[in-house]
């Protein structure tokens, strides 16, 4: 009986150890962006507000039906810009790491978009799902605005 109990405990520990603290949401379905009707200009768009994590703002520059520049910034629920200090008072190290993944993502997402000109080619970063979803939302809205 002791051997059976020890085996069950060991198996449980192995299963628990194989898990991850990080839960990743599936990548949102992204429609292709169409710049064929886009007018030259600089378009600034805010994302929807996430009640816990805040919002993001995208500034997209379009010239000759090409995205020539993109800036993406996040703001916490209090309106403070997410930066190297974002998440410093998180309850756990994992929460801080996720907060910093979001800050890093806000630099990577626009660079990938300008390089590829394809929203589908922008890779979602684990731990930065809300930022990714807000990026997709704002790019889509900015391109729609440019086509008006």
List, for residues 50-82, the tens digit of each pLDDT value: 999 999 999 999 999 999 999 999 999 999 999
Give the residue, 96 or 3, on which the prediction is more confident. Answer: 96
Joined together, the tokens standing for residue 78 give 């209090």
Residue 30 pLDDT: 75
**Helical ranges in 1-148 per DSSP H:** 2-17, 93-116, 129-146
pLDDT tens-digit map of 17-48: 333 333 334 445 677 899 999 999 999 999 99
| 9 occurs within a structural domain | no
Residue 16: inside a domain: no
Kindly report the pTM of this predicted structure: 0.79
Residue 24 lies in a domain: no
Residue 43 lies in a domain: yes
User: 83 in a domain, yes or no?
Assistant: yes
CB < 8 Å & 24+ apart, contacts of 97-105: 97/127, 98/22, 98/127, 98/128, 101/125, 101/126, 101/127, 101/128, 102/53, 102/74, 102/127, 102/128, 102/130, 102/131, 103/74, 104/128, 105/131, 105/132, 105/135
How many domains does the chain fold into? 1
Residue range of the domain that includes 134: 30-146
**CATH number, domain containing residue 105:** 3.90.1010.20
Q: Does some domain include residue 85?
A: yes
Structural domain includes residue 104 = yes
pLDDT tens digits, one per residue of 92-111: 999 999 999 999 999 999 99
Whether residue 20 lies inside any domain: the answer is no
Dihedral (C-alpha) 86, 89, 90, 96: value to the nearest 10 degrees?
40
């Amino acid at each position: 009986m002791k051997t059976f109990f020890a085996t069950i405990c060991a198996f449980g520990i192995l299963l628990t150890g194989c898990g991850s603290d990080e839960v990743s949401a599936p990548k949102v379905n992204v429609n292709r962006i169409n710049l064929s009707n886009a007018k030259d200009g600089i378009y600034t768009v805010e994302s929807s507000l996430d009640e816990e994590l805040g919002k993001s703002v995208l500034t997209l520059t379009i010239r000759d039906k090409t995205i020539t520049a993109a800036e993406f910034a996040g703001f916490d629920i209090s309106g403070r810009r997410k930066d190297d200090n974002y998440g410093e008072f998180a309850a756990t190290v994992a929460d801080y790491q996720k907060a910093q993944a979001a800050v890093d993502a806000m630099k990577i997402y626009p660079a990938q978009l300008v390089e590829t000109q394809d929203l589908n080619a922008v890779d979602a970063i684990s731990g930065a799902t809300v930022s990714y979803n807000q990026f997709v939302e704002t790019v889509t809205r900015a391109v729609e605005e440019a086509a008006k």
